Structure formats: C-alpha cells, structure tokens
Chain A
Amino acid sequence: MATRAIKPKRDDKPLGGWQSLPERAPSVLRADRPFALRLVAFAALVLTAVGGLAMILPSFNRPYLIDQYWGLFFFSIGVLGLVYHALGDRELQYRRIYSLVGLVLLFMAVILRFWPPARTITDQPRLPMARFFLPFGIPCLALALVFLLAVVRHETDEFWRKLILRIVGIAGAVMVVAGFLFSIVNLDFGFLQNRSSDYLQGEGIILVFLGLFYVAGFIAMQEAGSQLAFKSGLAMGGIGLFVFLLALWRSIYPTIMDLPADQAYLVPEGLILMGLGLLYLIFGLGVCSDWVPIVMTRRELTAFFYSPIGYLVILGMTLIGALRFASFLRPLTMSPMQEPIVARYPLDFIPVISLIFVPAVLTMRLLSEEKRSGTLEVLLTAPVSEASVVLSKFFASLIFFLISLVPWGIYLVALRVVGREAFDYRPMLAFFIALGLTGAGFLAIGLFFSSITKNQIIAAVLAFAVIMALTAVFWLADLPAPWNDILTYISHLDLWIDAVQGQFAPRMLVFHLSVAIFFLYLTTKVLEARKWT
C-alpha cells in the first residue's frame, strides 16, 4: 500500500553504466627549436677556444692577443655557456658530443693523477708526482660530472643512459674510497704523499667532496623508488658513520692515554674527518631514511634551491667573501704579519651585517608562507607533530646557512693550495663552529617570527630587528661589573672576534644554544596554540 507504483530507481543516476575514458595529457608537449640556445653555444665555443689558447700559448713562449688572466676569464665564461647549452639541448648529436667531452675530461683527470712522474732537478725543490692534478685534474673532474649529468638528464637511449650513469657511480665510489682511505691510513705507494694528514688537507678533502657530488648525481638520476639508489645511500651513510667514529676515537685516544701534545689528532685532522663523516652520514640518512623529521628536512632543504632566495643568498655571500678576501690579501703581500692572520679575514661591517641579514631572509618564508597558502593544514592533518615541523624547518635552514658560508672557507683553501701560503687556519674552524651556533640562535628567532605572521616581509623585518638588538649589545660592553660579564655572554660579536683570534671558549656558546632551543620551543607552541581552547 505504502509505495504503490513507486520504486526506487537508482540506476538512472549520473553513474549508471559509466565507463572510463583513457587518460590523456592535458596539453601536447612541443619539441622546441633551441635557436637561441645554440647561438649561446656557438659564442661559448668561441670564447672557450680563445680563452684556452690564451692560457696555453704563453707556456710555449708564444704571444697571444690577450693575456693569461683574461684567457682564464673567457674560458670560464665559455665553459659556463657550454654547460648551459648541454643542460638545455636535447638533440641526439649534442648529447653524444657532450657525453664524449665528459668522458674525455674524466679520462684526462685520471691521467693527470699519475702523470707526469716526480722529477728532481738540481738546486730546486723536488717536483712531486702528478703536480697538475690539483690545479687541472680537479676542475676536469668537476666539469666531467656536470656534462655527464646534463647528458643523462635528456638521454632516451637506455644503453647510453645506463653506461654513463654506471661510469659516474663507479668514479664517485673510487673517489670516496680513495679520498677517505689515504686520508686515514699512512700509505706510500709512490704516488702519494706519505703522510695521511698532508693528503687529507690537500687532495683528500677535495676528492671526498667531489665523490659525494658524483654519488649524489648518480642517486638523483635513478628512477623514483630505485633499490640501487637506496643501497648507494646506505653505503654512503655507512662510510660516514665509520669515518666519524674512527676520527672520534683517534681524537679522544691521545687525551685519555695522556699522550704528548704533538700526537694530538683532534685539530685539524680529527675535526675535518668528523665533519666529513657527519656530512656523509647526513647525506645517507637524507637518501634512505623515512623518519618524518628527516623526510621533511630534505624537502625543506630542496625547497631552498627551488626558490630564487637560495641562489641569491649564496651568490651574495660569495661576492661578499670575494670582496673581503681581496681586501684581506692586499696587506698580506706587503709585509709579514703575526698569526693568526685569518683574524683579519671574516669580520668587517658588511660581512657582519650579512650574517645578521641572511638568517632573517632564510627563515622568513618558512612558516608564514605555509600559513598563507594553507599547506600547513595539509601538513598537520598528516601524522606529523608540530615539533617535527619546526625542527625540520630549523635544521634545513641551518644546513643551508652553513652551505652559504662555504664560499668564505673556499677562498682560504685557494690561498693555501694554490698560493702555497702555510698560514694557521685553525681559528677559522673555531669561527665556523661559533658561527654555526650563533646562526642556529638567529634562525630560531627568524623561525619564531615567521610562525606568528602570514606575511614574509613582516617576519623578516621583526627577526632582523631582534637580531640587530642582540648585536647592539656589543657596544654596551663597558658597563659595571656583573652586567659586563653577562653581556659578554650575550654578545655574539665578542664570541666571533674571540673565535677568529684563536681564543675560542665553548662555554660562550651556552647562551646562543639556549636562544635556539628557547625560540624553537616557542615556535612549536605557536603552532600548537590553534588547539588551545
């Protein structure tokens, strides 16, 4: 009775008899004609040739229209242009040419490592074996990697792709193993310096770095979810852990066994090896670990390289370092100076301002942007705690901050390796440690201000103001007794100056570490505050 003539008709609904259509791409990808790119390549080729000739000909006592230094400049610009072309042009013939160039460069680097043999000319210091490896072989290795990876990016032929990737991977593995092995063990095969510490501070550290880049390139070019990439990452992490523990043990050993001071290992070999081991360990973790804070740190770190800010910061720090380095060198060439000479290098008005400015710029986007675009909601409805969000952003910015400081260190490496100036660089290590920790404090402050606003600019300005206020403490330092001591702990400029003059007291770091922890805690609470009722 109730439902006479009425039956639920559920079938004439939108989904009745629906059949899937095949998926189509939203838009067709057109093969572009890289005319401008090839024009760049042509100009770059001319520049490379001119620059290369200008660099080579003076060695044969032939004059050339430009001198060696302009030659180097043209050559560098030309090579950059060629790399740009290699990255952009997908055509088969160019891919083959560039892969050949890469392989030849790699081969040349190998030859330069074993040739020419050591030579003794009377009345002159003995020329070591493979003396061209550091100035020429290393750039060859770096360029080879860039060209090979540029080719692999576009390579469609499975055979070539696999071959080139395998070569890159094997070369990387050889560099890593050789770099670490000869840096740790004193081995004399005739083709090495026979003291591991000398090897470490010259070729070793460079090979270890380049090897990391090779392996990183190898891993990055694997398919997503590849087992090989996972295992390579695991191996790198394992090597890093081993080297770190070994260096730690050898650094502690002389202290606990009360050995004389000349057998101390910590400074600098221990520190350098521990740093490198840690770098490898972090790399391995970044590749392999699925632990949420690490996964997020990795994403945040790559996000820096997606945005122009990252490149601007690195470029700016490189330029500031170059200017500072130039004005640091000038007095050095005039008169002998007292150690530590590096004390004069990093600290000046512009570098200090940039060290205050960079943390504010790096952190301003981190949380404010997520709040503005709403991605914070997506993030915090996944099983991710507020603390791991904050920590991963903090560590990513800290790592990037440290990376942006690397150029300053590299100039000093150039002074030591190319200029053959045996200066005391150890205060620089202390300076970088101090900088890392004060930087951690600054970044935590920046992150906090980023978390309380949706506007990046407001976050940056607030962070900059607070860090400036902390800096201003330096000029207050002549106050009566108790205040003076307290302010010395707070003033990071005092800490930097002490560190770079070789008077580094780790207890001075306490305040900056506390600032970092305090502001990270506050930031976590700000994120949690939306849940307070």
Chain B
Amino acid sequence: MIQVHNLSKYFGPVQAVDCITFEVDTGEIVGFLGPNGAGKTTTMRILTSYLPATSGIAKVAGYDVMTESMDVRRNIGYLPESVPLYTEMRVEEYLIFRSKLKGVPRKERTARIDFVMDRCRLREVRRRLIGTLSRGYRQRVGLADAMVHDPPILILDEPTAGLDPIQIRETLALIKQLGESHTILLSTHILSEVEAVCERVIIINAGRIGFSRSLAEVESEALIHMDVRGPADQIASTLRGTPGVAKVTPCGQEDGLASFEIRAQEDRDICEELSKAVTDKHWLVCRLDRKHRKLEDAFFDVLREEDPLKEVKSSEAIKK
C-alpha cells in the first residue's frame, strides 16, 4: 500500500531524509521509530503529499504522491504531530465539516460521525468548543477526524502523545482493531506501544533507515549476557574464539567482574559452549543468561551504529 523508493528531502542545506526505501503492505501495522529530528514527520508529510520530495518516488495506495496527490489524499487519514484544529468550532461541527471535505456521502455521514465519536470517546464533549478542550481531547478529535472517511491507509504521527493512560490503551486497542482492515503507519517514541500493536518496525536515524524488520523477528533474536571474574581483554578474546559466537560486546568492568553481551550466529543457544570455554581457563562465571532481544535494544543498536559522531567521542570516557 505504501511504497517508498530512494526518497530524499533537503530543506536547503539540511538533509532531513536521506535516500530511504521501505514498503508497507496492505493490512500491516508498522511502527515508525526514531529519535527527535530523525526525519519521521518529514517522511510522513511527504507521504501525505503535503511536502514534495527532493528526489525519489513515494506511492501511496498505488498513487504517486507528487503527481496524483488528490487520489493519495482521498485514501489516507492523517493525524499530524501537533494536531492543529480550528479552536473556534465545536467538536461535532468540526467532524461534520471534515467529513464533508473528505466526501463522506450525506446519508452515511451521521452514522460515520457517531461511530468515530464512540470509538474516540468524544460523545460527552461533542458540543464543546475545541478551544476549551485539553490536549488529550484534541488528540482524540484529530484521530476521529483522521478516521472519519474510513480511509484504507492511516498515517498517524504520535497518536498517543498527551493522552491519559486509559485513552492510550483505548487508542492502541483501536489501532490494533483498525489494523485488521486498514494499513497503518504510526510514529511514536514509546517503544512499549510499538511492541503492543505493531507487526513491523522501521527505525530511522539521521534521515536513514537503520532497521526494518518484523517485531516477531526482533524478539526471537536472543542475547546472551555473561559476567565473568577475570581479565576483561583476555576473556573477550576467548569468547570471540568460541565457535558459534557472532559478536561480543564488552559492557564494562566492576570489582574485577567483566560483563559481556554476546550475540550467537544464527541465533543458536551456545550458553553451554561459552561456559565451558571460560571455565576451561579457570575464570569464574558469575552470571550467564539468555534473553530475548528487546525492541529497545535494537533501537539503541541502530542509534549507536548510525551515530555520525561515533568516531569523535570516546564511549568509555563518557561512561565514566
């Protein structure tokens, strides 16, 4: 439903998005992650055809965002980041106005507006001025507006920002339910939300895609954590020499206790081999466990890898 190919966007000299390529299939819920300023909002604005791309192709629902902008806009529901609304209108009036703009037929309009007001829990404030509503309620109005014409694709920029805990769950449940029949691309900073609803994540950093995998794949990857008493350098080289090990990351040393994070090749369980390799050298294993790799770990991995200042700063110095 959404195809992005080599998309770049410059604001003058600033490179906001750098040659990104990804796809979102029909019926997928994809989380779009990244630190502040990574280019998420810019990408979403390009996808909604609000901004043009400097180069590259983006297609939404089969329509090109540059040349067939109207068709694109008919097929998407977009919730912008700061949820700008006409503050002088009333909630229901605003939804009626938006549904007319989006071409909801007159006969279905009342039913659609009732539906979205129910789902976004706006019934009690339907006659209030939007200007008097709190941030969370405005967010709900924005979400209701995005869904009012029942678009096949929803593009939501931080849909849960500013909501209360109940409403966060309601919104996530709603997104999950909508995901059965809709394609959803949502951006957020809250990783647990992504884990709750998304099937796939795309992590973007400094305008580049660092990672695009399904969540099940991320979580099936295991990470072995090991604390060993002994000389850190030698232990690391021993571990690296153990068959089946893909990567060893030293995680610091405390009271002669060295910590390591170990990734195995092909995700095999090599705890026994590691334990044996270390005890053979008469170092003591204090801890050895294997756990799922969290989305958070993957996220930080991406940020570390893509950090353009990596060469400059000494990570050890910062840790101390």
A residues whose Cβ falls under 8 Å from a Cβ of B: 1-6, 8, 10, 13-15, 18, 20-21, 23-26, 224-225, 230, 290, 292, 295-296, 299, 303, 306-307, 373-375, 377-385, 530-533
User: Which chain B residues lie closer than 8 Å to A380 at the CB level?
Assistant: 50
Provided the pairs A6-B222, A13-B195, A14-B172 are in contact, do residues A295 and B80 lie with their beta carbons within 8 angstroms?
no
Determine, out of B26-34, B99-107, B204-212, B225-233, the stretch whose residues face the partner at the interface: B99-107
- CB B94 to nearest CB in A, in angstroms, measures 9
- Nearest-neighbor residue (CB-CB) of A305 within chain B: B88
Instruction: From the candidates B50, B82, B172, B267, name the one contacting A3 in the complex (CB within 8 A).
Output: B267
B187 in the interface (beta carbon within 8 A): no
Evaluate contact between B70 and A385: CB separation under 8 angstroms. yes
Instruction: From the candidates B80, B82, B134, B267, name the one contacting A26 in the complex (CB within 8 A).
Output: B134
Instruction: From the candidates B92, B134, B216, name the one contacting A8 in the complex (CB within 8 A).
Output: B216
Provided the pairs A3-B267, A13-B195, A20-B173 are in contact, do residues A375 and B124 lie with their beta carbons within 8 angstroms?
no
User: Which chain B residues lie closer than 8 Å to A296 at the CB level?
Assistant: 101
State A532–B52 Cα separation when bound (angstroms).
Answer: 7
State A4–B222 Cα separation when bound (angstroms).
Answer: 11
- Bits for B62-90, please: 1 = Cβ < 8 Å to A, else 0: 00001000100110101010101111110
- CB B101 to nearest CB in A, in angstroms, measures 5
Evaluate contact between A383 and B80: CB separation under 8 angstroms. no
Provided the pairs A1-B269, A13-B195, A26-B137 are in contact, do residues A382 and B102 lie with their beta carbons within 8 angstroms?
yes
State A10–B101 Cα separation when bound (angstroms).
Answer: 40
Residue from A25, A306, A378 with most neighbouring chain B CB atoms (10 Å): A378
Provided the pairs A1-B269, A3-B267, A20-B170 are in contact, do residues A381 and B124 lie with their beta carbons within 8 angstroms?
no
B193 in the interface (beta carbon within 8 A): yes
User: Which chain B residues lie closer than 8 Å to A290 at the CB level?
Assistant: 100, 103, 106
B306 in the interface (beta carbon within 8 A): no
Residue from B50, B98, B121, B290 with most neighbouring chain A CB atoms (10 Å): B50
Provided the pairs A1-B268, A381-B76 are in contact, do residues A14 and B137 lie with their beta carbons within 8 angstroms?
no
Evaluate contact between A375 and B78: CB separation under 8 angstroms. no
Instruction: From the candidates B66, B145, B166, B220, name the one contacting A6 in the complex (CB within 8 A).
Output: B220
User: Which chain B residues lie closer than 8 Å to A21 at the CB level?
Assistant: 166
User: Which chain A residues lie closer than 8 Å to B76 at the CB level?
Assistant: 381
User: Which chain A residues lie closer than 8 Å to B125 at the CB level?
Assistant: 25-26
State A224–B222 Cα separation when bound (angstroms).
Answer: 56
User: Which chain B residues lie closer than 8 Å to A14 at the CB level?
Assistant: 169, 172, 192-193, 196
State A383–B197 Cα separation when bound (angstroms).
Answer: 28
- CB A320 to nearest CB in B, in angstroms, measures 27
B51 in the interface (beta carbon within 8 A): yes
Known: A292-B101, A381-B49. 15 other contacts (CB 8 A): A2-B268, A5-B269, A6-B222, A8-B216, A10-B216, A26-B133, A225-B113, A306-B89, A374-B80, A374-B84, A375-B85, A381-B78, A382-B73, A383-B73, A533-B52
Instruction: From the candidates A3, A24, A292, name the one contacting B124 in the complex (CB within 8 A).
Output: A24
Evaluate contact between A381 and B48: CB separation under 8 angstroms. yes
User: Which chain B residues lie closer than 8 Å to A374 at the CB level?
Assistant: 80, 82, 84
B181 in the interface (beta carbon within 8 A): no
Provided the pairs A15-B196, A20-B173, A532-B52 are in contact, do residues A303 and B74 lie with their beta carbons within 8 angstroms?
no
* In the A-B complex, the 7 residue pairs with the closest CB atoms: A374-B84, A25-B124, A225-B110, A306-B88, A23-B121, A383-B73, A381-B48
Evaluate contact between A26 and B124: CB separation under 8 angstroms. yes
B residues whose Cβ falls under 8 Å from a Cβ of A: 45, 48-54, 66, 70, 73-74, 76, 78, 80, 82, 84-89, 92-93, 96-98, 100-103, 106, 109-110, 113, 121, 123-125, 133-134, 137, 145, 166, 169-170, 172-173, 176, 192-193, 195-197, 216, 219-220, 222, 266-269, 290, 292
Evaluate contact between A373 and B84: CB separation under 8 angstroms. yes
- CB B11 to nearest CB in A, in angstroms, measures 11
State A261–B125 Cα separation when bound (angstroms).
Answer: 62
Evaluate contact between A295 and B97: CB separation under 8 angstroms. yes
Evaluate contact between B97 and A15: CB separation under 8 angstroms. no
State A2–B269 Cα separation when bound (angstroms).
Answer: 7
- Nearest-neighbor residue (CB-CB) of A15 within chain B: B196
State A384–B69 Cα separation when bound (angstroms).
Answer: 10
User: Which chain A residues lie closer than 8 Å to B172 at the CB level?
Assistant: 14-15
Provided the pairs A23-B123, A225-B109 are in contact, do residues A381 and B73 lie with their beta carbons within 8 angstroms?
yes
State A373–B131 Cα separation when bound (angstroms).
Answer: 12
- CB B288 to nearest CB in A, in angstroms, measures 14
- CB A6 to nearest CB in B, in angstroms, measures 6
Evaluate contact between A18 and B173: CB separation under 8 angstroms. yes
State A379–B84 Cα separation when bound (angstroms).
Answer: 10
State A382–B92 Cα separation when bound (angstroms).
Answer: 18
Instruction: From the candidates A24, A306, A531, name the one contacting B52 in the complex (CB within 8 A).
Output: A531
User: Which chain B residues lie closer than 8 Å to A375 at the CB level?
Assistant: 84-86
Evaluate contact between B169 and A382: CB separation under 8 angstroms. no
User: Which chain A residues lie closer than 8 Å to B53 at the CB level?
Assistant: 533
State A398–B319 Cα separation when bound (angstroms).
Answer: 65
- CB B58 to nearest CB in A, in angstroms, measures 13
Evaluate contact between A15 and B73: CB separation under 8 angstroms. no
Evaluate contact between B85 and A8: CB separation under 8 angstroms. no
State A295–B89 Cα separation when bound (angstroms).
Answer: 14
User: Which chain A residues lie closer than 8 Å to B98 at the CB level?
Assistant: 382
Evaluate contact between B101 and A533: CB separation under 8 angstroms. no
Evaluate contact between A2 and B266: CB separation under 8 angstroms. yes
State A26–B140 Cα separation when bound (angstroms).
Answer: 13
Can you list 6 A-B pairs with a CB-CB distance of less than 8 A? A290-B100, A292-B101, A379-B101, A381-B76, A530-B51, A532-B52
Evaluate contact between A18 and B88: CB separation under 8 angstroms. no
User: Which chain A residues lie closer than 8 Å to B145 at the CB level?
Assistant: 378
- Nearest-neighbor residue (CB-CB) of A376 within chain B: B84
State A405–B15 Cα separation when bound (angstroms).
Answer: 52
Evaluate contact between B73 and A4: CB separation under 8 angstroms. no
- CB B164 to nearest CB in A, in angstroms, measures 10
- CB A382 to nearest CB in B, in angstroms, measures 5
State A3–B268 Cα separation when bound (angstroms).
Answer: 7
- Nearest-neighbor residue (CB-CB) of B267 within chain A: A2
- Nearest-neighbor residue (CB-CB) of B110 within chain A: A225
Evaluate contact between B169 and A303: CB separation under 8 angstroms. no
Evaluate contact between A6 and B292: CB separation under 8 angstroms. yes
State A14–B98 Cα separation when bound (angstroms).
Answer: 32
Provided the pairs A18-B173, A531-B52 are in contact, do residues A383 and B102 lie with their beta carbons within 8 angstroms?
yes
Evaluate contact between B123 and A377: CB separation under 8 angstroms. no
Evaluate contact between B169 and A18: CB separation under 8 angstroms. yes
- Nearest-neighbor residue (CB-CB) of A289 within chain B: B100
User: Which chain A residues lie closer than 8 Å to B173 at the CB level?
Assistant: 15, 18, 20
- Nearest-neighbor residue (CB-CB) of A292 within chain B: B101
Provided the pairs A14-B172, A21-B166, A26-B134 are in contact, do residues A8 and B86 lie with their beta carbons within 8 angstroms?
no
Evaluate contact between B193 and A377: CB separation under 8 angstroms. no
User: Which chain B residues lie closer than 8 Å to A10 at the CB level?
Assistant: 216
